[in-house]
Amino acid sequence: MTIAKGDKIPAATFIKMTENGPEPVETSAFFAGRKVALFSVPGAFTPTCSAKHLPGFVEKAAELKAKGVDEIACTAVNDAFVMGAWGKSASADGSVTMLADGNGAFAKAVGLEMDGSKFGMGTRGQRFSMIVNDGVVEELNVEAPGEFKVSSAEHMLGQL
């Protein structure tokens, strides 16, 4: 079942690359007591994700925070090393937290996984964004396959 507005974020563990190496991030702690703009991409370093999706959130980070967002986070079914490298290459350090969902547990828990097998990618997370306030989904934007419209930073700014 796909997560919906008003639902609580399910328990899952992301992995975040830090100065000390990969560290677990529990959803219960990460989303507690604050407003998070979370977006998911099918894969780090993929064309639309690298050219538009992540750069849009990096570019609009100050505007999102001015509208009450405490943290902006990107997730993908990639490992923490890849997510860390992608964040550095996109100059996301300090503006977007890169959260690896290496086994796809979060994507599956929210019911937003996709089959990328025909591209050699296996099971991945769909392209989506959500505004999560104190662990509860306030807005959910799921893209149609092959599209990039409603999960953008610009669209999210209009929702805040």
What would the CATH number be for the domain defined by 13-159?
3.40.30.10
Question: What average pLDDT does range 138-145 have in this prediction?
Answer: 93
Is 74 annotated as catalytic? no
Residue 16's closest CA among 100, 125, 92? 100
User: What's the token pair of residue 91?
Assistant: 């100059």
Residue 43's closest CA among 77, 87, 17, 79? 77
Question: What average pLDDT does range 53-77 have in this prediction?
Answer: 95
Whether the pLDDT of residue 90 is over 80: the answer is yes
Whether the pLDDT of residue 123 is over 90: the answer is no
Whether the pLDDT of residue 120 is over 90: the answer is no
Please check whether residue 45 is in contact with residue 84, taking contact to mean a CB–CB distance below 8 angstroms: no
Residue 22: pLDDT band by 50, 70, 90 thresholds? very high
Whether the pLDDT of residue 41 is over 80: the answer is yes
Among the listed residues 36, 49, 80, 98, the single catalytic one is: 49
Q: Domains of the chain: which residue ranges?
A: 13-159
User: Which single residue is written with the structure tokens 């992995």?
Assistant: 15
Would you state the pLDDT for residue 147?
A: 87
Residue 49: pLDDT band by 50, 70, 90 thresholds? low
The rounded distance, in Å, linking the Cα atoms of 78 and 44 is 7
- CA 132 from chain centre, in angstroms, equals 11
The pLDDT mean for the chain works out to 92
Angstrom CA distances, 113 to 89, 92, 116, 123, 138, stand at 26, 24, 9, 7, 20
> Which comes out higher in pLDDT, residue 135 or 115?
135
User: What's the token pair of residue 38?
Assistant: 């979370």
Residue 145: pLDDT band by 50, 70, 90 thresholds? confident
